[in-house]
Amino acid sequence: MGSKLQIKTEYKDEDTEDEPVSPTGQYFNSKTMSVRVLGILESEISIDTSCAVPLLQELFLPINPRFSSIMVSDKKGVKKWKRVEVNLPDHVNIPNFPEGLSPEAYDDYFDEYLTEIAMKPLPSDRPLWDIHLITYPTSKAAGHLIFKLHHALGDGFSLMGALLSCMQRADNPSMPLTFPMLQPTSKANSKPVDDVGCLPKTLSVTYNTTCDFGWSFLKSSLIADDKTPIRSGGDGVEFHPVQISTIALSLDQIKQIKTNIGATINDVLTGIIFFGTRLYMQATGRDFCNSESTALVLLNTRNIDGYKSIHEMVKNDSETKWGNQFAFMHVALPALIDNKSSTPLEFISEAKEIIKRKKNSLGVYLTGQSLELIRKCRGPEVAAQFIHSTLQKSTMTVSSMIGPVEKMALANHECKGLYFMVVGVPQSLTITVLSYMRTIRIAIGVEKGYIDEQKFKSCIENAFQLIYKAAVKN
């Protein structure tokens, strides 16, 4: 791995011009913020490090010119993606741990290494990504492959699409990966428009939009959440070490809850996360059970029903194209009072109603337009400061992705598990959710030394068990 291998990926002539950096890409890689994404693949077998550089050359770099570009500013201060030659070995990291330890002992080394790379910025003088190959077995896998990518390269939809384009079905490589079907549009939404019936709906949307936009603006600029056991509220939280751990839940059991109570999978997962979070706050101190705590739920703003091919994502189509196309939705965590502990399904119902009302408004759209107005009038750095303030004044971020139904393989390394984490955000708690095969993987990133990671995991697992028992009983 010590030899130097220069790779200049060939693209079509029309792709060779420097591409402007999107506004969101500028926000995430600014003086105010540097947000990265970690994608962790758990391998069934030990990692063969010799195939890393050839695979990056043949599969990864051709996906998008941004993987062979650095971010630069022109004479007018406009940021662009500038194509460069990529020295692939510079991007490949293979740590050395002590030999001959047990998988449980390597768990600690892996966790510490994950914390270390999560907090380390990506060098700005080379393309904004790295990979890390962990060749030591842990209790969860025989080896790990970690993709570290700057969020300026794209959002979860784009980066997950890039990752999946490198994978094959383990059972039949000639067949494409498939994904869970999204919930179909309800028949009510397909009925002809009734002018009389539209009036109450229009009034409802107008009212919800006014409330949501006003509240979101105040939460982003003036009103901060309470300081709690899950929100330290200090300056520079994004520079504090983060501890990352995961919880695996049965997708079949989640679907059983969904069916029994007439909710969606997202409703169930949101309810579990919110309920578990409140249980942790209650276990730390009852005064925190009804504190002002807000979650920023990330929404994909593409009007599509699943992943598209890389060819479709790189073409100039506003609905499918590569980039950062998402928005934040402020969702207040329901308070946990005494009777909520005995009726945990009410937590899902409240979360469902809150999110339903939020979606029945144009608040997210207006917030996005306001951010764009700030960028045009005062520049991207001021807009980045506004996003930083939005994150800092809230309590937690929740984002979710859909993974394939079948087991995947990369260069004959079957993927046992898969999860991701967003790091570099000014919050003490970040939660991500990813489905893979028949499992829901909840990844938890906590401010190390402030949140008890094991206790928090236990509260999420307890919330799931309480909700499952209540749903099955019904």
pLDDT recorded at residue 74:
79
The ranges of the chain with pLDDT < 70 are 1-17, 181-201, 286, 299-326, 338-342, 474
pLDDT recorded at residue 423:
96
Domains and CATH numbers, the chain: 8-169 (3.30.559.10), 204-402+428-473 (3.30.559.10)
- Cα–Cα distance measured from residue 407 to residue 417, given in angstroms and rounded to the nearest whole number: 9
pLDDT recorded at residue 308:
47
Global confidence as pTM: 0.87
Q: 75, exposed or middle or buried, with CB in 10 Å at 0-12, 13-18, 19+?
A: exposed
pLDDT in tens, 176-185: 888 876 554 3
pLDDT recorded at residue 450:
96
pLDDT recorded at residue 17:
63
Bridge partners of residue 143, in order along the sequence:
43
- Cα–Cα distance measured from residue 455 to residue 52, given in angstroms and rounded to the nearest whole number: 37
CB 83 within 8 A of CB 68: yes
- Cα–Cα distance measured from residue 336 to residue 346, given in angstroms and rounded to the nearest whole number: 10
CB 288 within 8 A of CB 281: yes
